[in-house]
Amino acid sequence: MAVQIIPTSPFSGQKPGTSGLRKKVAVFQQPHYLENFIEAIFRAVPALQGGTLVLGGDGRFHNDAAVQTIVRMAAAHGVARLLIGRHGLLSTPAVSHLIRRHGADGGIVLSASHNPGGPDGDFGVKFNAANGGPAPEALTEAMYAISQTLEHYRSSDAAAIDLASVGLQHCEAMQVEVIDPVADYAALMQTLVDFDAIRAWLAGGKRVRFDAMHAVGGPYAVHIFEDLLGAPLGSVRNAAPQPDFAGGHPDPNPLYAADLVAAMQGPQAPDFAAAFDGDADRNMIVGRDMVVSPSDSLAVLAANARLLPQFAAGLPGVARSMPTSRAVDVVADKLGFDCFETPTGWKFFGNLLDAGRIALCGEESYGTGASHVREKDGIWAALCWLNLLAVRQQSVAEIMEMHWAQFGRHYYSRHDYEGLSSETGAAVMAGLRSRLAGLPGTVVSGLLVNAADDFAYTDPVDGSVSSMQGVRVEFDGGARAVFRLSGTGTEGATLRVYLERYVAGPDGLAQETQAALAEVIAAARELAAIEALAGRTQADVIT
């Protein structure tokens, strides 16, 4: 075994997006491509030398090869202790927890999350810092800058380690611990949620169904929901992680988890269902005849926080990403705690969580999380809902209807226009930005514009500023449209249009969402000139 210095040269575009560096598998398979980015991580985080690193991924194609590459490079960079999930598997929230529990100096998650996998799919690398959260922008920018100057990287010619068995091994001088990927995470969950209450609720004849979408959430869901909570065997569908997610999008929404939503219709349907994404940080909550919008899920958890053991003392504050509906704002306002609005991406919640300013946060993209980790956490969100169902002894639909009656309802939808050229995406955003100043006071498609801006965020804890985070247009009466380009795709551009309309009630609380939003949808299409600039008459994905 010997440390090697291997010559290389920079690749353009090794710039992490909303959540890590995501590229086609074929890009990551080029000689030195992965190595260069990993080298940039080690150089940007000097504490890893002599420190502890956590490593695991969602099991997608290329996971095993990448794990072995990173093990050799970690050894060559003098990492003292490396913790790896068995078979190279760890969910994103599990990595976050392991970093915090073991006082690690960071973690690497191999995942492109909800993006498809397989040889023609996507691969991704995320770095999480010592607080357990996604690298903040200053750190990802440092990695990118380093990646553009590389002339060599350090590796080792050591043999591959055995990922199949739990136990201690060595690579060079580095201690490698292959661990059960589920155990620590499952233990954490039992400190947060009332397992006895859920067990009793299930034992009383309630029925549940989970969809792990052939991704890494499977082993966690089987252990927690079936082994520990006593849900019948088979309650977790698609539970074995597959390298290509069986050809699907591991994205828990009504389009890609259509089977699950269909199974929840009608009087014979189960009482509760949830689906998780590739790396098990996202969740979709479904009740009988009721798909819960992620923005509403956050608001319901905030409103009922004191019923959950984790939040028994109440919430210091909450946060949502800017495009997420303002349902949680209404709850925070009525119940008297702070509510922060952050840019898209979990990295922006980290400082608020670390400072204790918030304990619960979420995004419209099926992400919900809290202060127990520094990532969104899909299985935890499902457990919180089960805990609420058990305590309140009401159905998901009843809980939603009572919530809307109390706080009003934010009709909400996201329309994605996928596969645009980068130029078209840029042109749509540039067109919106150029017209912002003149919009207030004008009428678009029958709606009066009250305010329009390009969202900029000043972090209340460290004062860092992130500008150009998305265009917000607010209409008279409180409806809103938000526009931004995706930062997780690997081809062209995806335009995301977020649509929202508030109805205070008591009338009008039971409308069909797209119908309730029809005027806002038309105004947003006109504002962004989507048909003229992109030639699209309808969105590709509506959630």
Known catalytic residues are 113
Smallest distance, Co ion to C-beta of residue 281, A: 4
Residues numbered 99 to 158 that lie near Co ion (CB under 5 A) are 113
Distances 500 to 294, 321, 324, 445 between C-alpha atoms, Å: 13, 14, 9, 16
Q: Which helix (H) or strand (E) holds 142?
A: helix 137-147
Of 283, 277, 287, 278, the C-alpha closest to 298 is 283
Which of 488, 517, 523, 539 is in the footprint of ligand VG1 by CB under 6 A? 488
User: What is the separation of C-alpha 28 from the centre of its chain, rounded to a whole number of angstroms?
Assistant: 22
| Residue appearing with tokens 């840019």 | 343
231 or 495: whose CB is closer to ligand VG1? 495
What residues pair up with 454 in beta bridges, in sequence order? 471
282 or 501: whose CB is closer to Co ion? 282
Q: Contact region for ligand VG1 (CB under 6 A) — 29-37, 146-154, 326-334, 485-493? A: 485-493
State how far the Cα of 402 lies from the Cα of 117, in Å rounded to an integer. Answer: 40
106 or 362: whose CB is closer to ligand VG1? 362
Smallest distance, ligand VG1 to C-beta of residue 324, A: 8
Smallest distance, ligand VG1 to C-beta of residue 496, A: 6
Contact 476, 523 (CB under 8 A): no
329 or 377: whose CB is closer to Co ion? 377
Residues numbered 233 to 262 that lie near ligand VG1 (CB under 6 A) are none
Name the binder of 488 from ligand VG1, Co ion, none, CB < 5-8 A by kind: ligand VG1
Q: What are phi and psi of 473, to 5 degrees?
A: -125, 120
Q: Kindly state the tokens that stand for 302.
A: 């905030």
State how far the Cα of 38 lies from the Cα of 108, in Å rounded to an integer. Answer: 9
Residues numbered 263 to 292 that lie near Co ion (CB under 5 A) are 277, 279, 281-282
Q: Contact region for ligand VG1 (CB under 6 A) — 161-169, 257-265, 274-282, 334-342? A: 274-282
**Maximum C-alpha span of the chain:** 73
Which of 14, 16, 18, 298 is in the footprint of ligand VG1 by CB under 6 A? 18
95 or 360: whose CB is closer to Co ion? 95
x/- letters, 315..334, toward ligand VG1 (CB under 6 A): ------x-------------
Torsion of CA 305, 307, 310, 313, to 10 degrees: 80
Q: Kindly state the tokens that stand for 420.
A: 């645009």
State how far the Cα of 355 lies from the Cα of 448, in Å rounded to an integer. Answer: 39
Q: Kindly state the tokens that stand for 208.
A: 């549940």
Smallest distance, ligand VG1 to C-beta of residue 171, A: 29
State how far the Cα of 222 lies from the Cα of 231, in Å rounded to an integer. Answer: 9
Alpha-helix runs per DSSP H in 204-349: 217-221, 258-263, 294-303, 327-335
Pairing relation of β-strands 122-128 and 493-503? unpaired
Q: How many residues bind ligand VG1 (CB under 6 A)?
A: 18
Residue 487 touching ligand VG1 (CB under 6 A): yes
Which of 60, 87, 114, 209 is in the footprint of ligand VG1 by CB under 6 A? 114
Q: Kindly state the tokens that stand for 24.
A: 């086609």
Q: Kindly state the tokens that stand for 35.
A: 């190595």
Contacts of 11 (CB under 8 A, 6+ apart): 30, 32, 33, 36, 147
Which of 14, 304, 486, 543 is in the footprint of ligand VG1 by CB under 6 A? 486
14 or 253: whose CB is closer to ligand VG1? 253
Residue 19 touching ligand VG1 (CB under 6 A): yes
Q: Kindly state the tokens that stand for 214.
A: 């052939």
Smallest distance, ligand VG1 to C-beta of residue 16, A: 11
x/- letters, 342..381, toward ligand VG1 (CB under 6 A): --xxx----------------x-x-x--------------
Q: What are phi and psi of 417, to 5 degrees?
A: -105, 105
Residues numbered 202 to 221 that lie near Co ion (CB under 5 A) are none
Position of minimal CB gap to ligand VG1: 113
Residues that bind Co ion (CB under 5 A): 113, 277, 279, 281-282
Residues that bind ligand VG1 (CB under 6 A): 18-19, 113-114, 277, 281-282, 321, 344-346, 363, 365, 367, 486-488, 496
